[in-house]
Structures are given as C-alpha cells and as structure tokens.
Structure 1
Amino acid sequence: MIVAAFPNATLTVGPLTLPNRVVLAPMAGITDAPLRRMAHRYGAGLVISEMVASEALESGHAETTLRAEAAGVPVHAVQLAGNQPASMARAAMMAEASGAALIDINMGCPAKRVTTGLAGAALLRDLDLATAIIAAVVGAVKVPVTLKTRLGWDDSGLIAPELARRAADIGVQLVTIHGRTRCQFYTGSADWRAIASIASAVDLPVLANGDLVAAEQVPAMLAASGGAGVMIGRGAQGRPWFPGQVAAYLAQSPDARHVPADPSLAEQCDVLLELYEDWLSHYGVDLGRRQARKHIGWALEAAAVAAGRAPDALAHWRKRILTQDAPREVRTGIRAAFDELSWSAAA
C-alpha cells in the first residue's frame, strides 16, 4: 500500500510545499532514519528526526550525530533540543550544513531527564529564554524553523498562545501543539479544543498533535483544533504506514471518505523484516538488534489487531523473539509469528 501524494491537500512551510498535511512526529529513540524512510514511503507528508541534543551534536557525540543523519527523504528535517541559545544556533547551523531543509525546536518533551536540564517542556516556565532560543535559531539558518510544544507546563500556566505569537513574530514558519500540559505527560486525553486558542493567535500553520490513532478521528481533530494539519506520534508505533493512511483519508471528498486498508499481513511482515535489516545496517548489529526490539513488539501488537485478534495475541512470540540475540533467529521468529496470524485469519 504505497500512498501517493495528494496535491489538493498540501501544506506550505516557508518555501517548502509538503505533499500532504500529515507529519510523523519526532520521537526520541523511535523516529530514526530507517523508520522515517519507511513512513515516507507509505505517504507521510513530512518525517522529522528524533530529538537531537544541541550540545551533544556540537561535541560530535556519535549516537547524536547518527540521530541527525539524513534519511534519504525529500525534506530532511532535524529536531533540536537545548537550553542555551548560542548552542542551539550552532547546532542548527551544523544541521543545515549537513543537508537539513527544516529545523524543528523541541519545547514540549516532558521527560524528566530533559526537563531537569531545563530543556524541552521546561522552557514553558521561562518564556524569555524560550524566545531567545527561537530568535537564535531563526537568525542562524536560512531554512525554515518550526516549533513543537505543549499547552503549558501545567493547568495554571497555559502559555502556548503567547509563545506561538512570539515565535511567529520572530519568523517561525509552523507550530505544532500537543494538546496536553507537561505535567500531564501522556495521561488523560489530549485536549484538541485547547489547541484552537493557539491556531487563532497566529497567522501561520498550526499542527494538532495527541491521541490520533485512527484515520476516522482526523476530521474531528481538525475541526476542534482549527489546525492546518496533524502530527502523529504514538499512533504510528508499529504502523509506519499510518500517517500515509491518514493523509489518504483526509484527501478524499468529505462525503465519500473511507479508510484505506491496512497492508496485508504478508506485507506487514515484509516491512518489519526490511526495517530489521535496516536497523542492523544503520546502527551495527549489536546496537541495531537492541534498537529493533521495541519496534518488533509494537509491530506484532499492530498485526494482531489488524488480524482481528487481541493486541497480546502474539505475546508468546514477542517474548521468544525479543530474547533472541542472533539475527537469524529473530528473522525466523518474525516469519513464524506472522504465519500464525495468517493461519488463524484464514481459519
């Protein structure tokens, strides 16, 4: 299921015209180059690197440099995180020099290890520092700069509209809002309606993010948020085709929409095996097989649901595969797990 671009559903970000309004979110430890390539193949309008720490990129840290590596997609987008304007500016210049066509600034990551360092969502408690960082990055590069953030640090400080206004005045080209506060982490439900206050505060595209896990949800998400498009994070875990599936749904006539079918189980198996080989090549065998484990687990859950089974229907295979170190045994286990699903679906 390769999803084509839909010219009637494009999204403009500065000088860039994206083929559709659905973006794969930058997710730390997840949206590496292999996954970005696969999501792009299936029709995501834009794929963004996992979060890259600015100071680590400056220092030449090997794994950080790998996170910022181009994935061989039309628009190489790098997300940067940090709390020092000068460091963020230098890292942005490094990314641009390495081929980045878009720089995204992370001001939304809720992880304690990030916010303890006064980066990510911690910047929602210091608007002046956040503004200085945005200005430094925009002033350092010629490519479009975008911003991803949350509604605020907590319910008493919903400052996203003011932050978005400042970002727009400085020259940011697009803002993505996750419809939760930092203190919510990922609990409860994303508040799509709250995003509308940001969309109405700025004259630039705003993407709505949070809890989009089925294509049928996208009209309601856009109507509630006033967003120009959507960003998909956890909904794509184990399903790299999902952003493209949403884009195809969104591009259809509103009175005749239908959800494109998931790839067949055989195709899902092939996708996972291809990604596994890509991870081994990208990271090297030792690190690659460790990086692959979480993705394999998510893919088996997604396949079980696609086959009409409970998400844990392949739990026995998941345990067996994820405790294997030999790539040959992992490949054999993946094929056997999908064979079991195919047999049960045909029964």
Structure 2
Amino acid sequence: MKIGNVELKNNIFLAPMAGVTDMPFRILCKEQECGLVYTEMVSAKGMHYDDDKSNKLTLMHEKERPGAVQIFGSDPKIMAEVAEKLNKSDAAIIDINMGCPAPKITKNGEGSALMKNPELVAEIIKSVVSASQKPVTVKIRKGWDDSTINAIEIARIAEKNGARAIAVHGRTREQYYSGKADWDIIRQVKEAVSIPVIGNGDVTGPKEAQKLLEETRCDAIMVGRGAQGNPWIFKKIVKFLEDGTIISDPSPKEKIETIIRHMDMLIDLKGEKTGILEMRSHIAWYIKGMRDAAYTKQKIFQMKGKEEIITLLRSFLMRQ
C-alpha cells in the first residue's frame, strides 16, 4: 500500500480520534501491525499562534513511523502555513479533517462543515498541497445531512487539487456516530476517483473488515471506535485477511499489563496528573465487558494516583 511516495506495511489504519489516538496508544497499535496511525486532530489556528499543546500533538515517536498528522481549520493561508511547518516534522503524511461533527468545530465552519462549501474545500486542499513536501490526504463524511450528500463531489475536488488519498466515513454529520454507516457511498467514491480510497465506519472486527473491502473495493480500511481499548484489532484483521485465521482475544492478564504500560507511557509524556486524567477513558474501554468492569471504572474515575490504580487493576484481574 502506497500513499504518494509513502510505503506502508499494510492497508489497515487507525482513525484519528480526539482524546484517543495519543502517542502511547498509536505505538501500541503500531506494535499490533497497524499500517498507518493518525494523530488526534490538531488546530491549525493553534499552531499558527504557536500554542504549545497544539504543537505537542504533532510529535511522533520513531516507533510509530510512518504516521500521519491530522490538521483542521478553515483558513487556506493558515492551513498552508501549518503544512509548511510540518515539512520539518516526523510526520510522513498530512491529513486534512473535513469530517469532525463536534459542534465546537463545525460552528467555526471547520471539520464536516467544510463539506457545505466545496469552493473553500478546493482552496484549502490546493493551498496545503502547494505548501507541503509530504503527501496530503483528506478525511470526509458522506455529507452534512441526508439532503446534502456530496462525498463524491468533494472526493473529486480533493483529487483535482492534489490530494493523494481520501478517507470516507459512511455517515452524515447529522448522524454523528449513530445508526449504520453507509458503505455504498464508499463504493461510489471509489468508482469516482483514481486516488486510493480509505473506507471508514462500523469495522469492529476481521469479518467486517473483509466485508467492507469486498463490498466497496476500497484500497484501505480505517478503524475508529473498534480500536478503543483494543489495539489488538489490527493484528486480528491483518491475519484474517492474510489466511482466514481468527486470532483469539488477549487474556485478562495481557489486557491489564497493556493498560499499565499505556498509563506509564502517558505519564512519561504528560506527567502524572494529566496522564491519569486522560488514561481513565482508555481504561474504561480496555476493561469493557469484563467481570466487575462497571464498578472498577467508577472507582478509577475517582482516583488520582498511578499506584492506587495499579492496585485496583491487580485485584480486578484476580476476579477475572
């Protein structure tokens, strides 16, 4: 699998997710054979004003390369300036977010709101491509709502203006993450453009991944919520697509060890206070479906120290 001049190990990717795809989690997914990881979305405006938090989100560890940095914004000049800054970064690919449904993003005309303005979409992509020495990709949705389904139009604009791949989430902005993803729109986009198309939506395991590939003929798959608390999903999909083998789920012991390692990496990166706060949601995803998960999650959300969390997790493991 290639995007521009970037050679990738396989075509099973981790979707960019705010509050989820932090550096430690990306490393864990890469270790489980994920073909391409994306950062959490980064504000172009934040980088323009040299915001420390925004700049830090673009950092990539050597263990996760090649990786993509996803940026969001609606000002073509600022987006181009940020792309130029990212020429010096360790990111292999720059992705433009045109799919985020969050009101705090769309109210500024950013994220999926851009799909309502095809002329601006063209301008942004053209500006970023001109400034970037790295391949530029775009992530979109099916459309803003059911009355404005324009993924095909936006995909053609992206290709015409130099994007090297396009990811399509088969839901409208109005759907957020509810209902069923429309895979047929991914197939239609694939038939409409010649650049690689990445299918996104409702891939929760190997069989869904295979079905998405077969039904849409897309070039790659992007796993979002199916990867939350589940970095093992990538290895499972890759192996199943290779030879039909279903790898068994990780043992409770492996899950707890991975949680502790993830937490250690996050604390090293952001300090104990922030690391613990951000880790709480990850832990809830990791232990979902296990015995006493609801009680343990409730306790963890009240804890502030690493050692007390580890003690709780060890006693939780004993009950599995």
**TM-score bin, normalised by smaller chain:** over 0.9
- 2:29 maps to 1:39: yes
- Cα contact 1:107–1:124 (8 A) shared by 2: yes
- 2:134 maps to 1:143: yes
Matches within 5 A, 1:171-186: 171-186=162-177
Q: Where does the alignment leave 5 or more consecutive residues of structure 2 unmatched?
A: none
**Alignment correspondent of 1:53:** 43
- 2:227 maps to 1:233: no
Identity of aligned residues (%): 35
2:18 corresponds to which letter in structure 1?
A: A
Deviation string 1:151-178 (CA, Å, 9 cap, x unpaired) is 1111111111111111112211111000
- Cα contact 2:14–2:36 (8 A) shared by 1: yes
Aligned equivalents of 2:167 and 2:67: distance in 1?
A: 18
- Cα contact 2:70–2:94 (8 A) shared by 1: yes
- 2:52 maps to 1:23: no
Structure 1 segments of 4+ aligned residues over 4 angstroms from their partners: none
**Alignment correspondent of 1:261:** 248
Residue 243 of structure 1: how far off its partner (Å): 2.1
Matches within 5 A, 1:193-208: 193-208=184-199
Residue 97 of structure 1: how far off its partner (Å): 1.0
The TM-score, its normalising length taken from structure 2, stands at: 0.97
1:326 corresponds to which letter in structure 2?
A: G
**Alignment correspondent of 1:160:** 151
Matches within 5 A, 1:1-347: 11-72=1-62, 73-252=64-243, 257-301=244-288, 304=290, 313-341=292-320
Match of 2:171, SS state, is coil
- Cα contact 2:44–2:71 (8 A) shared by 1: yes
Aligned equivalents of 1:296 and 1:55: distance in 2?
A: 31
2:88 corresponds to which letter in structure 1?
A: A
Residue 185 of structure 1: how far off its partner (Å): 0.6
Match of 1:180, SS state, is strand
Residue 46 of structure 1: how far off its partner (Å): 0.4
Higher mean C-alpha displacement, 202-211 vs 329-338 = 329-338
Match of 1:213, SS state, is coil
Aligned equivalents of 1:193 and 1:210: distance in 2?
A: 11
Match of 1:208, SS state, is strand
Match of 1:293, SS state, is helix
Match of 1:93, SS state, is helix
Aligned equivalents of 2:275 and 2:52: distance in 1?
A: 14
Higher mean C-alpha displacement, 111-120 vs 321-330 = 321-330
Residue 68 of structure 1: how far off its partner (Å): 1.0
Match of 2:138, SS state, is strand
Aligned equivalents of 1:339 and 1:71: distance in 2?
A: 34
Match of 1:227, SS state, is coil
Residue 263 of structure 1: how far off its partner (Å): 2.0
The TM-score, its normalising length taken from structure 1, stands at: 0.89
2:245 corresponds to which letter in structure 1?
A: H
Residue 76 of structure 1: how far off its partner (Å): 3.0
Higher mean C-alpha displacement, 62-71 vs 274-283 = 62-71
Higher mean C-alpha displacement, 288-297 vs 213-222 = 213-222
Residue 133 of structure 1: how far off its partner (Å): 0.4
Matched positions, count = 319
Aligned equivalents of 1:41 and 1:149: distance in 2?
A: 27
